[in-house]
Amino acid sequence: MSIDESAIKALPYPVSPADEAELAAFVGESHARATPMCIAGGGTRVQPGSVEAEHMVTTRNMSGIVTYEPGALTLIARAGTSLQEVEDVLAAEGQALAFEPMDHRAILGSKGAPTIGGMVSANVSGPRRIQAGACRDHLLGVRFIDGRGRTIKNGGRVMKNVTGLDLGKLLCGSYGTLGVLTEVALKTLPLAETEKSLGFPGVTPREAVEIFVAALATSFEVSGAAFHAGTAWLRVEGFEAQVDYRVGRLKELFSGREIDVVAHAASRNLWRDLRDVRHFAPSEDAIWRILIKPTDAPDVMAALRQLGGEASLDWGGGLIWFSGPASSAAVRKAVGAGRAMLVRPGSLSAADLFPPENSAVARISAALRKTFDPAGIFNPGLMGN
Amino acid sequence: MPTIAMPEPDLGILARASQIIERLTAVVSAEAVISDPQETRAYECDALAAYRCLPLAVVLPRTTEEVSAAMKVCHEMGVPVIPRGAGTSLAGGALPTADSVVIGIMRMRDILEIDTANRFVRVQTGVTNLSVSAELEASGFFYAPDPSSQLACTIAGNIAMNSGGAHCLKHGVTTNNLMGIRMVMASGEIVDIGGPLLSGSGLDILGLLCGSEGQLAIVTEATLRILPRPEGARPMLIGFDSAETAGECVARIVRSGLLPVAIEYMDDVCLRAVDAFANAGYPKCAAVLIVEVEGSEDEILHQIMRIRQIAAELNPVEFRTSRNADESLKIWKGRKSAFGAMGRLGDYLCLDGTVPVSKLPYMLKRIGELSKDYGLEVANVFHAGDGNMHPLILFNANAPGELERAEAFGADILRLCVDVGGCLTGEHGVGIEKRDLMTKQYSADDLAIQMEIKSVFDPDWLLNSAKVFPLEASKPYRDKAVRG
């Protein structure tokens, strides 16, 4: 499988264990010698300068789908399996990962193939997150190597499981700081038969959020609510008659507004582009991902624009994408109660990609990292100390 | 004699009981502390009523600050704490020990904030599950998780057990609908995690807390995701003359691409009990499925038509669609009252193992065989869409040896669940009930890291500490913890 070699070569001693046992042995040795490592799946999101490490460890050689049972809505794959392979296998059975993981290559300009392990470790989700939940909501179980080299499993492959502490949630979105994932079990869902999107041209961010709030209070299961370049978009999915019905009812709800309807493949392409934030790909500036209370989004967008740059919305206003030249401090100040994560540093320092946590949460997080990784060898410094 | 052991109480703590009660009374209002055995009797067990023990005292705070103050006292004096919601745990999650203080949050029942524009509510966690949706009724929203005990169970308990319910097939369980919490740590420190934002940006501590069975902290406030009510919803009832065929029907519905909000299963033993109890008018057959779909009238009819096609291939003995709200209520009434109805037949153990949906027919067959081997009748009533089984093992608690036999039968079923790729508990939690079976599902290392994490939150192992982890495995942690 392909990997972004340039990212790997930026670090000495790339290591690509053949299997879980080899990885566990390597981690155990690194623990004993306290030698830090940078962890990568396909290397499509690794930011040079974000981690100081002696090794780059990739899961590239630990790939393949272990089990896929469409009737049980369950897929188990080794961490290094490419996301594309998983999506192709699911699509052949009319299923998908409902959380619609974004592809970072457009905005990061990286090559290689995103892996299922990388997706889980960063809790990568897309526009359907507002309706279907995030990656973490579809993660059923994990296997990973902890910082002492122990092989750990948690969760399983069934839809409901409260047997012991849920470590999958902790691993998901831990960006490799707690363990190296070797296998993940995910819930799959049926693909919608069809989809249509309603575009509201010529609206302000405030009007866009008003449209989102109204649409998301309906029972029409709006599965996308995004705003970019003066147009607010709503997506509905389902079987043909259902989608037509819902589009009709939403048009009634917004009868005073101009609405363009985009259907089928055009709608799919639209949401792929919005998902991957392709509209900000060409610029050289930093790109920020900002979590915000939807009704706070218009004011925060205005404050961000004061700093120069462009902003768009996803998740019904709960996610602002911002691209601009402002300093990290200025952006974090402008977002107020929101949480700003630096996804593409541009000319900014990659040393603080994550927003600071409140002191109690920072202390608990540090203690958890120490528990999983006592010698501090996994992506040290990436998410704080 | 029941077979699940609890550690011996700490005699040093018992000797200091009056001092402990005095200190607790000094930091929370006097009426919030109960120590008279006449009154603490109400807290001696939860819904796993075969196991009982009077606690040293019970504290019923009204604020997070009072919870914190009580926790600080217990922490300083080295007293074990048993967090308690409404006490509806079927796994012994709220069972006290004689040397413990129960901290119950059922008096903390305020709805703090309703924000329909941003689609969340913030509540004190002593509110009942059902009352959250009731509060939202006028606004057109609801809170999705709906455990069978929703009339009584609290949000705190739902978070502790990551509760599901009949409708979680579509809307997910508690962890999928929880956005933030305020919690009181074992030290008494108050910590906020998450909030009205859609995701966190650091470690998912919220996800760790949900389902942690009172091992890590006491959750006093919660921010919950709310959903708009569907336009309509309608259940249908499908009867089959064999359990395996019903199981096959579930698998085919799931596979078809339809996503009903609920697929529930009841077998003949359960049907008989329910019919006598709730007069639900269920057909007399080997197994019944209740499938609920939602949407507009046309959407509902379309989905019913497709499910009818799927079912027809399997020759159901009955396919009944609700025609009005009364009929819908009646179809659900039997299912929702199933546990109560079974109680009238005698004592029962309710299991909660979850298996891959494709393994349901096999599991039903094996449970039937084991039932004959053990000479104990089993009723099966469960959330079939997600493979969450609830075999109810019937026994007579007054007959010597029957409880032990029922427990051994239950353990066999749970081992079988793990063997076919499932887990010990889908939504009831481990508690004391499945504590000693954890080694079946997890290796020593798998359990060690979980216990190390508990130590991060609760270094002295004061919170609910003889639960979830096998006593033998947790002994070094409990022994190491400094007490008193």
Q: What is the mean pLDDT of residues B376-386?
A: 90
Report CB contact under 8 Å: B387, A72.
yes
Exposure string (b/e) for B344-380, b if CB count within 10 Å is 16 or more? ebebbbbbbbbbbbbbbbebbebbeebbeebebebbb
Report CB contact under 8 Å: B356, A218.
no
Between the two ends of chain A, the Cα-to-Cα distance in Å is 33
CA dist B159 to A122, B128, B183, B216, Å?
Answer: 24, 12, 11, 12
Q: What is the mean pLDDT of residues B420-428?
A: 93
Q: What single DSSP character describes residue B223?
A: E
Do residues A169 and A317 share a domain? Answer: no
Do residues A270 and A287 share a domain? Answer: no
Q: What is the mean pLDDT of residues B65-90?
A: 97
**Which of A137, A170, A361 lies at the smallest CB-CB distance from B193?**
A361
Report CB contact under 8 Å: A217, B230.
no
Interface probe with B: pick from A161, A222, A242, most Cβ of B within 10 Å: A161
List, in sequence order, every residue forming a beta bridge with A378; answer none if it has no partner.
A37
Q: What pairing do the DSSP bridges indicate for beta strands B81-84 and B101-104?
A: parallel
**Which of B299, B426, B453 lies at the smallest CB-CB distance from A162?**
B426
Confidence of residue B334 (pLDDT cuts 50, 70, 90): confident
Alpha-carbon distance of A163 to A166, in angstroms, equals 8
Query: Which residues in chain A have their CB less than 8 angstroms from residue B354's CB?
Result: 158-161
Q: Does some domain include residue A358?
A: no
CA dist B324 to B234, B250, B291, B302, Å?
Answer: 8, 24, 15, 17
Handedness of CA B412, B417, B423, B426 (dihedral sign): negative
Report CB contact under 8 Å: A358, B426.
no
SS3 B334: helix
The pLDDT of residue B335: 86
Domains present along chain B, CATH in parentheses:
11-104 (3.30.43.10), 111-228 (3.30.465.10), 233-339 (3.30.70.2190), 346-435 (3.30.70.2740)
Name the minimum distance, in Å, from the CA of B335 to any CA of chain A.
19
The pLDDT of residue A263: 96
For A308, residues 6+ apart whose C-beta sits below 8 A from its C-beta are: A324, A325, A326
Mean residue pLDDT of chain B comes to 93
Report CB contact under 8 Å: A170, B203.
yes
Confidence of residue B2 (pLDDT cuts 50, 70, 90): low
Nearest CA in chain A to B210: A166
Side-chain-facing half-sphere of A21: CA atoms under 13 Å: 0
Nearest CA in chain B to A166: B208
Query: Which residues in chain A have their CB less than 8 angstroms from residue B215's CB?
Result: 165
Name the minimum distance, in Å, from the CA of A220 to any CA of chain B.
8
The pLDDT of residue A159: 87
Alpha-carbon distance of B16 to B73, in angstroms, equals 13
Nearest CA in chain B to A342: B201
Confidence of residue B333 (pLDDT cuts 50, 70, 90): confident
Q: What single DSSP character describes residue A378?
A: B
DSSP A20-79: HHHHHHHHHHHHHHT--EEEESSSSS--TTS---SEEEE-TTS--EEEEEGGGTEEEEET
Report CB contact under 8 Å: B201, A354.
yes
Q: What is the mean pLDDT of residues B458-481?
A: 93
**pLDDT above 70 covers what percent of chain B?**
99
Last residue of a domain, one of A164, A191, A218: A191
Query: Which residues in chain B have their CB less than 8 angstroms from residue A189's CB?
Result: 259
CATH of the domain at A296: 3.30.70.100
DSSP B121-180: EEEETTSBHHHHHHHHGGGTEE-----TTTTT-BHHHHHHHT---TTHHHH--GGGSEEE
**Which of B164, B196, B357 lies at the smallest CB-CB distance from A72?**
B357
Do residues A114 and A208 share a domain? Answer: no
Locus of tokens 């004391």: B432
Report CB contact under 8 Å: B468, A164.
yes
Query: Which residues in chain A have their CB less than 8 angstroms from residue B212's CB?
Result: 165-166
Last residue of a domain, one of A257, A275, A293: A275
pLDDT in tens, B26-55: 999 989 999 999 999 999 999 998 899 999
Query: Which residues in chain B have their CB less than 8 angstroms from residue A224's CB?
Result: none
Instruction: Give ipTM to 2 decimals.
Output: 0.95
Q: Does some domain include residue A369?
A: no
Domain membership of residue A33 as a residue range: 1-191
Interface probe with A: pick from B203, B363, B449, most Cβ of A within 10 Å: B203
Report CB contact under 8 Å: A360, B257.
no
Number of domains in chain A: 3
Do residues A157 and A168 share a domain? Answer: yes
Report CB contact under 8 Å: A164, B208.
no
Q: What single DSSP character describes residue B104?
A: E
DSSP A106-129: HHH---S--BHHHHHHTT---TTH
Q: Does some domain include residue A362?
A: no
Query: Which residues in chain A have their CB less than 8 angstroms from residue B424's CB?
Result: 163
Do residues A318 and A335 share a domain? Answer: yes
Do residues A10 and A41 share a domain? Answer: yes
CATH of the domain at A258: 3.30.70.2190
Nearest CA in chain A to B386: A159
Do residues A270 and A327 share a domain? Answer: no
Report CB contact under 8 Å: A151, B445.
yes
Report CB contact under 8 Å: B449, A242.
no
Does position B275 have pLDDT exceeding 90, yes or no? no
The pLDDT of residue B136: 97
Closest to A167 measured CA to CA, from A146, A148, A187:
A146
Report CB contact under 8 Å: B446, A154.
yes
Confidence of residue B337 (pLDDT cuts 50, 70, 90): confident
List, in sequence order, every residue forming a beta bridge with A37; answer none if it has no partner.
A55, A378
Do residues A162 and A299 share a domain? Answer: no
CA dist A95 to A89, A128, A159, A187, B179, Å?
Answer: 9, 15, 16, 10, 27
pLDDT in tens, A277-288: 999 999 899 999
Nearest CA in chain B to A172: B204
Does position B107 have pLDDT exceeding 50, yes or no? yes
Report CB contact under 8 Å: B200, A319.
no
Does position B390 have pLDDT exceeding 50, yes or no? yes
Q: Does some domain include residue A318?
A: yes
Does position B482 have pLDDT exceeding 70, yes or no? no
Residue A302 token pair: 């205005």
Do residues A160 and A202 share a domain? Answer: no
Q: Does some domain include residue A158?
A: yes
Confidence of residue B345 (pLDDT cuts 50, 70, 90): confident
Report the interhelical angle of A205-216 vs A240-253 (nearest 10°): 130
Report CB contact under 8 Å: A294, B117.
yes
Report CB contact under 8 Å: A170, B204.
yes
Does position B484 have pLDDT exceeding 50, yes or no? no
**With the CA atoms of A47, A48, A54 and A60 taken in that order, what torsion angle do they form, in degrees rounded to the nearest 10?**
50
**Which of B199, B205, B434 lies at the smallest CB-CB distance from A361?**
B205
Report CB contact under 8 Å: B354, A160.
yes
Q: Does some domain include residue A367?
A: no
Do residues A51 and A180 share a domain? Answer: yes
Residue B190 token pair: 């108050």
Alpha-carbon distance of A70 to A128, in angstroms, equals 21
Alpha-carbon distance of A12 to A36, in angstroms, equals 12
Rounded to the nearest angstrom, the gap between the alpha carbon of residue B158 and the centroid of all alpha carbons in its chain is 7
Q: Does some domain include residue A383?
A: no
Name the minimum distance, in Å, from the CA of A201 to any CA of chain B.
22
The pLDDT of residue A12: 55
CATH of the domain at A157: 3.30.465.10
Q: Does some domain include residue A283?
A: yes
SS3 B228: strand
- Tens-digit pLDDT string for chain A (385 aa): 344 555 544 555 689 999 999 999 999 999 999 999 999 888 888 877 788 888 889 999 999 999 999 988 999 999 999 999 999 999 999 999 999 999 999 999 998 899 999 999 999 999 999 999 999 999 999 999 999 999 999 999 998 999 999 999 999 999 999 999 999 999 999 999 999 999 999 999 999 999 999 999 999 999 999 999 999 999 999 999 999 999 999 999 999 999 999 999 999 999 999 999 999 999 899 999 999 999 999 999 999 999 999 999 999 999 999 999 999 999 999 999 999 999 999 999 888 899 999 999 999 999 999 999 999 999 998 987 7
Residue A279 token pair: 């509209």
Do residues A89 and A143 share a domain? Answer: yes
Report CB contact under 8 Å: B162, A162.
yes
Amino acid at A265: A
CA dist B263 to A206, B33, B163, B291, B335, Å?
Answer: 41, 44, 17, 4, 11
Query: Which residues in chain A have their CB less than 8 angstroms from residue B457's CB?
Result: 364
The pLDDT of residue A5: 52
pLDDT in tens, B263-272: 999 999 899 8
**Which of A130, A295, A368 lies at the smallest CB-CB distance from B453?**
A368
Closest to A99 measured CA to CA, from A321, A280, A275, A289:
A275
Name the minimum distance, in Å, from the CA of A219 to any CA of chain B.
5
Confidence of residue B183 (pLDDT cuts 50, 70, 90): very high
Closest to B446 measured CA to CA, from B410, B428, B470:
B470
Last residue of a domain, one of A161, A191, A221: A191
pLDDT-wise least confident of A247-251, B112-116, B360-364:
B360-364
Nearest CA in chain A to B450: A165
Query: Which residues in chain A have their CB less than 8 angstroms from residue B309's CB?
Result: none
Alpha-carbon distance of B226 to B137, in angstroms, equals 11
Name the minimum distance, in Å, from the CA of B336 to any CA of chain A.
19
**With the CA atoms of A342, A345, A350 and A353 taken in that order, what torsion angle do they form, in degrees rounded to the nearest 10?**
0
Report CB contact under 8 Å: B141, A73.
no
Inter-chain Cβ pairs, chain A and chain B, closer than 8 A = 244
CB B193 within 8 A of CB A361: yes
**Which of A74, A189, A213 lies at the smallest CB-CB distance from B117?**
A213
pLDDT in tens, B137-150: 999 999 999 998 89
Report CB contact under 8 Å: A170, B229.
no
Alpha-carbon distance of A346 to A323, in angstroms, equals 10
Mean residue pLDDT of chain A comes to 94
Q: What is the mean pLDDT of residues B116-126?
A: 98
Do residues A138 and A25 share a domain? Answer: yes
Amino acid at B114: I
The pLDDT of residue A1: 36
Name the minimum distance, in Å, from the CA of B119 to any CA of chain A.
8
SS3 A105: helix
Report CB contact under 8 Å: A162, B421.
no
Report CB contact under 8 Å: A170, B445.
no
